[in-house]
Chain A
Amino acid sequence: MAKIVLDRMREGFTAGEIIETGSMHGNEWARVAPCAWRRVAEFLRDDPATQMNLFVDLTCVDRTPREPRFDVVLHLYSVEKKHRVRLYAGVAEKDPAIDTLVPVWPGANWFEREAFDMYGVRFAGHPDLRRILMYPEFQGYPLRKDYPKEKRQPLLRRLPGSV
Chain B
Amino acid sequence: MADALPFSLGGNRRVVLGEVEVSDFDGDLPTEVMPLHMGPSHPAMHGTVRIALEVEGEKVKTADVQIGYLHRCFEKEAENATWTQIFPYTDRLNYVSPMLNNVGYALAVEKLLGIEDQVPERAQYIRVIVGEISRITDHLTCIAAGAMELAAFTVFFWLIKGREWLWELLEEVSGARLTHSYVRIGGVVADLPEGFSAKLREVLGKVRLAIADADKLLTRNKIFRDRMDGVGVIAKADAGAWGLTGPVARSTGLAYDVRKDHPYLVYDRFDFDVPVGSTGDNFDRYAVRLEEMAQSMRILEQALAEIPAGPVIVDDPRVALPQKHETYNTIEAMIAHFKLIMDGLHVPAGEVYSFTEGGNGELGFYIVSDGTGRPWKCRVRPPCFANLAILTKVLPGLFIADVVPTFGMINMIGGECDR
Q: Which residues in A have some Cβ–Cβ distance to B below 8 Å?
A: 24-27, 29, 53-57, 59, 61-62, 73, 75, 79, 82, 84, 86, 105-107, 109-111, 114, 118, 131-135, 142-143, 149
Known interface pairs A55-B242, A107-B243. Does A143 touch B68 (Cβ–Cβ under 8 Å)? no
Distance in angstroms between the alpha carbons of A83 and B120 in the assembled complex:
28
Chain B residues closer than 8 Å to A135, beta-carbon distance = 68
Known interface pairs A25-B350, A57-B381. Does A73 touch B111 (Cβ–Cβ under 8 Å)? no
Distance in angstroms between the alpha carbons of A82 and B263 in the assembled complex:
12
Report whether A134 and B71 are in contact in the complex, using a CB–CB cutoff of 8 Å: yes
**B241 close to chain A: CB less than 8 A:** yes
Known interface pairs A57-B381, A75-B353. Does A133 touch B67 (Cβ–Cβ under 8 Å)? yes
Known interface pairs A57-B381, A135-B68. Does A86 touch B353 (Cβ–Cβ under 8 Å)? yes
Chain A residues closer than 8 Å to B261, beta-carbon distance = 82
Distance in angstroms between the alpha carbons of A7 and B25 in the assembled complex:
68
| Chain B: minimal CB distance from A160 (Å) | 22
Chain B residues closer than 8 Å to A84, beta-carbon distance = 353
Chain A residue, CB-CB nearest to B66? A132
Report whether A107 and B242 are in contact in the complex, using a CB–CB cutoff of 8 Å: yes
Report whether B352 and A25 are in contact in the complex, using a CB–CB cutoff of 8 Å: yes
What are the interface flags for B78-112 relative to A under an 8 Å C-beta threshold, 1 for contact and 0 otherwise? 00100000000000000000000000000000011
**B366 close to chain A: CB less than 8 A:** yes
**B214 close to chain A: CB less than 8 A:** no
Top-5 shortest CB links A-B: A107-B243, A107-B242, A133-B68, A53-B240, A55-B243
Distance in angstroms between the alpha carbons of A98 and B100 in the assembled complex:
34
Q: Is the interface of B mostly helix, strand, loop or mixed?
A: mixed
Contacts A/B (CB < 8 Å), 11 sampled: A26-B111, A54-B245, A55-B240, A56-B355, A79-B254, A106-B393, A107-B242, A109-B392, A118-B75, A132-B67, A135-B68
Partner of A106, one of B241, B353, B362, B381: B241
**B13 close to chain A: CB less than 8 A:** no
Report whether A149 and B80 are in contact in the complex, using a CB–CB cutoff of 8 Å: yes
What are the interface flags for B230-251 relative to A under an 8 Å C-beta threshold, 1 for contact and 0 otherwise? 0000000010111111000000
11 more CB-based (< 8 A) A-B contacts, given A75-B381, A109-B389: A25-B352, A54-B243, A55-B386, A57-B366, A57-B381, A75-B366, A79-B240, A107-B241, A107-B386, A110-B386, A143-B76
**B9 close to chain A: CB less than 8 A:** no
Chain B residues closer than 8 Å to A79, beta-carbon distance = 240, 254-256
Known interface pairs A25-B112, A134-B68, A149-B80. Does A53 touch B241 (Cβ–Cβ under 8 Å)? yes
Known interface pairs A27-B353, A55-B242. Does A73 touch B366 (Cβ–Cβ under 8 Å)? yes
| Chain A: minimal CB distance from B54 (Å) | 15
Known interface pairs A25-B351, A59-B366. Does A142 touch B73 (Cβ–Cβ under 8 Å)? yes
| Chain A: minimal CB distance from B385 (Å) | 6
**B162 close to chain A: CB less than 8 A:** no
Chain A residues closer than 8 Å to B68, beta-carbon distance = 131-135
**B131 close to chain A: CB less than 8 A:** no
Report whether A61 and B368 are in contact in the complex, using a CB–CB cutoff of 8 Å: yes
Chain A residues closer than 8 Å to B75, beta-carbon distance = 118, 143
Distance in angstroms between the alpha carbons of A57 and B382 in the assembled complex:
9
Chain A residues closer than 8 Å to B208, beta-carbon distance = none
Chain B residues closer than 8 Å to A73, beta-carbon distance = 366
Chain B residues closer than 8 Å to A62, beta-carbon distance = 377
Chain A residue, CB-CB nearest to B261? A82
Report whether A56 and B241 are in contact in the complex, using a CB–CB cutoff of 8 Å: no
What are the interface flags for B388-419 relative to A under an 8 Å C-beta threshold, 1 for contact and 0 otherwise? 01101100000000000000000000000011
| Chain B: minimal CB distance from A116 (Å) | 13
**B364 close to chain A: CB less than 8 A:** yes
Interface centre among B261, B352, B353, B381 (most CB of A within 10 A): B353
Partner of A56, one of B76, B243, B389, B390: B243
Partner of B389, one of A82, A107, A142: A107
Chain B residue, CB-CB nearest to A114? B385
Instruction: Give residues 333-375 of B contacting A (CB, 8 Å).
Output: 350-353, 355, 362, 364, 366, 368
Report whether B351 and A54 are in contact in the complex, using a CB–CB cutoff of 8 Å: no
Chain B residues closer than 8 Å to A114, beta-carbon distance = 385
Report whether A149 and B67 are in contact in the complex, using a CB–CB cutoff of 8 Å: no
Report whether A110 and B385 are in contact in the complex, using a CB–CB cutoff of 8 Å: yes
Chain B residues closer than 8 Å to A59, beta-carbon distance = 366, 379
Report whether B242 and A56 are in contact in the complex, using a CB–CB cutoff of 8 Å: no
Partner of B352, one of A27, A57, A105: A27
| Chain B: minimal CB distance from A149 (Å) | 6
Distance in angstroms between the alpha carbons of A143 and B350 in the assembled complex:
19
Chain A residues closer than 8 Å to B206, beta-carbon distance = none
Known interface pairs A57-B381, A107-B389. Does A149 touch B352 (Cβ–Cβ under 8 Å)? no
**B262 close to chain A: CB less than 8 A:** yes
Report whether B350 and A106 are in contact in the complex, using a CB–CB cutoff of 8 Å: no
Distance in angstroms between the alpha carbons of A24 and B350 in the assembled complex:
8
